[in-house]
Amino acid sequence: MNAIEKVGTYSMLMVRTFAIPDRWRMFFRQYVNEIQKQGLDSLAITVIISMFIGAVITIQMVLNTANPLLPDYATGLAVRDTLLLEFSSSILCLILAGKVGSSISSEIGTMRITEQIDALDIMGINSANYLIMPKVTAFMTVIPCLVIASMFFGIFGGYCMAYFTDIITVHQYVYGIQFMFNPFFITYSVIKGVVFAFIIASIASYYGYTVKGGSLEVGKASTDAVVNSSVIILLANVMLTKLMLS
Amino acid sequence: MIEVNNVFKSFDKPVLKGVSTTFETGKTNLIIGQSGSGKTVLMKSVVGIHSVDSGHILYDGRDITQMKRKERILLRREVGMLFQGSALFDSMTILENVMFPLEMFSYDSLEERRKRAIFCLERVELGHALDLYPSEISGGMQKRAAIARAIVLNPKYLFCDEPNSGLDPKTSLLIDRLIQEITHEFNITTIVNTHDMNSVMEIGENIVFINKGEKAWTGTKDDIFTSECEPLNDFVFASNLYKELRKAHAFFVSKKKD
């Protein structure tokens, strides 16, 4: 299947996906389940990664800003902007593309090869709408919470580093993270997160839904979903940054 | 009744070559044939999973090949299907699986939906397994649960794709009899795709033999013994057991005549 054909198939699948659900009650039931599976179950990994990355960025910034011309609070400022602008949206979403994307792709792919999707179709149910729409909408809903949690815990990780070591004083760090704060950076990051969440969930669903064959193909689809969604996230990142920050 | 008129279907090469046949209401209609003969494609074309290249498929006079997507979806709500691998939803219990079509399409109260699902599960003798997951029950029980799910919306048409695959002979017999009982009890047009000769001899009320993409023979299980169709005889009487059975049948028939 060539790239143009894949884009066409993906677009047609999305048209089928974003139709009015057969039963709203069933949609909301699935939606709540997906929020639990994709959101709450991703919170722990988000918190752990963000805290450690925040701590590491703090150490690296102290080393890189060891210059008499730069003020001491530059470390806190750099940590904040790195987390707010890039890590908590783009890098976090690249990490979640691995966790959530592969999970969605393998779940739907397994349903495809075990004829569960055929069973839905035979019942007269729009299987794309029933399976994919709750996943995409749930992930898009929950991602702002994960992005904001990542920002908070990343900055907290840097704070812990300042508190428990002598590389920088807590006062300088706190002053740095407050210095010239632009609230739009949070909005920018959240918007990027929502777009990336759509990319991750929809591309993973597409690869799972169109699987043909057996368990080997499901594994391959899962890998393809992660690789392709990562590449598209990077591309979308450049475009969104140019649109929103230039 | 489902009528198939001059249906052609090809993928890279022709698979169905002008198949015409009738599947009767209240009977178990069997599609038999060797692997690769086109019987699964025929069944999937009749269900509407595959679109046909030409020809007509009429569900009690309604031509599925001429239907729009929405009409086809509505028709599918009259169809129940038993898949080869059961296709039960892994994340749901057996009761939830059977209640699922009702949750999607029925406006009954929760209590009524539950009652209907339990009635169907008890009909297939699975009243004791309501809260178990598909992974916790045997293959035969999964098939029975899938039958309960297929009949829960009172379908007019029931399709069974190789219902005996992976089952021991005794369980296969139970599933076959269950399919036949349900067909008679609810007056359903049932189509079974199989190459299990025990099933053919047990429930073959109307058999369609597909050979190399064409309908080669049609008849009942009793007609098979007197069939002159060579490909059918090669297929049905391939094993020694069935060869002996055929000889015995011919012997008894000649004795009866005498």
In the Cβ-directed half-sphere of A176, how many Cα atoms lie within 13 Å?
27
| Residue A18, in any domain of the structure | no
In the Cβ-directed half-sphere of B34, how many Cα atoms lie within 13 Å?
15
Q: Which residue in B has a C-alpha nearest to residue A115's C-alpha?
A: B87
Q: Which residue in A has a C-alpha nearest to residue B150's C-alpha?
A: A123
- Within B91-168, where are the H helices? 94-105, 110-123, 139-151
**Full residue range of the structural domain in which residue A111 is found:** 25-245
| Residue A47, in any domain of the structure | yes
| Residue A13, in any domain of the structure | no
| Residue A17, in any domain of the structure | no
pLDDT of B159-180, one tens digit each?
A: 998 888 878 888 888 888 888 8
- What DSSP assignment string belongs to B24-51? -TTSEEEEE--TTSSHHHHHHHHHTSS-
Mean model confidence pLDDT for chain B: 87
The answer to whether residue A124 scores a pLDDT higher than 80 is yes
Query: Residue B209: beta bridge partners?
Result: B32, B217
* Of the candidate ranges A33-37, A208-212, A216-220, B247-251, the one whose mean pLDDT is the lowest: B247-251
**ipTM, two decimals:** 0.81
| Residue A19, in any domain of the structure | no
What is the predicted pLDDT for the residue at A56?
Answer: 95
Of A22, A122, A125, Cβ closest to residue B47:
A122
Of A23, A115, A124, Cβ closest to residue B77:
A124
- A114 vs chain B: nearest CA distance in angstroms? 6
Cα(B253)–Cα(B258) distance, rounded to whole angstroms? 9
Q: Name the pLDDT band for B83 (thresholds 50, 70, 90).
A: confident
The answer to whether residue A1 scores a pLDDT higher than 70 is no
Query: Cβ–Cβ of B73/A124 closer than 8 Å?
Result: yes
Q: How many domains in chain A?
A: 1
| Residue A226, in any domain of the structure | yes
| Residue A14, in any domain of the structure | no
| Residue A8, in any domain of the structure | no
- A23 vs chain B: nearest CA distance in angstroms? 6
